Every structure is written in C-alpha cells, then in structure tokens.
Amino acid sequence: MSRHYRKERLDELLYRELNTLVLYELNDPRLADISISSVDVSRDLQTARVYVNMLDEETVVRQVLQGLEKASGFLRSEIAARINLRKAPELYFRIDTSYQEAKRIDNILDSIPPYIEEESDREGNTE
C-alpha cells in the first residue's frame, strides 16, 4: 500500500516540476504553447508517461514531440536534482487529446437543435 501512495506522490511531484520547467525554463520555440496535463509513473518507478496539452490548435504535434525528446535529458536531470531522486524516471511524452475531444463533442451538442414539445404533448392529450 505504501508503494501505491509513493507512486501517486511521485506522479503529482513530477507533474508540478515538469509543468514549471516547461513553462518557465525551456527556451525552445516549439514548446511555447504547451502545458503538462498529467504524469503517470510506472509501478516500478522507472518510467513515466507525460501527457501534454497543446494550447494552440495550429501547433505541429511532431515538432512538439521532437522538442520534448530533445529536452528530456535536461528535464530528467532537473527533476532528479529538485525532487532529490537517486534516478529520475525515463520520460515518454504523449499528446493528450482529451481537450480537443471535449471541444469536438461540445460543438456537436451545440449544433443539435433544441427539442420543443408540441402543445398537445404538454397537456397530456395524445392523438
């Protein structure tokens, strides 16, 4: 049980530190319009999946992932120093599409015309 608690704590710590590093310390223009949405560390604490939101819809996914891969060594070394880990987990970056999916669903729902009951249905008359 304590191992599960440690994993959750490490998820949260990595999320906060990576978000700070990406927003304030990386100077790569490919990474200007992104934020970290969540981090999922493996059970053995050796790897971490980092989910990234792209704030600008016109951002090219491939360029963002290349920028993150290039910065992964710097990010790992900073994480190890800031969180005081013996070995920082290997970082694997994924694009989080949940925001785009939610936006797409909202657009679909907004396009559906409102349902209007007929007068006879509201009064209970059925013909």
What pLDDT, on a 0 to 100 scale, did the predictor assign at position 65?
92
CA 85 vs CA 10, 13, 79, 127: distances in Å:
10, 11, 8, 74
* 2-113 CATH: 3.30.300.20
Residue 1: predicted pLDDT: 46
Q: State the 10-residue block means of pLDDT for the chain, 127 residues long.
A: 76 94 91 91 92 83 92 93 88 88 88 74 55
pLDDT at 18: 95
* Domain locations in the chain as residue ranges: 2-113
State how far the Cα of 3 lies from the Cα of 7, in Å rounded to an integer.
6
Nearest CA among 93, 99, 91, 32 for reference residue 59 = 32
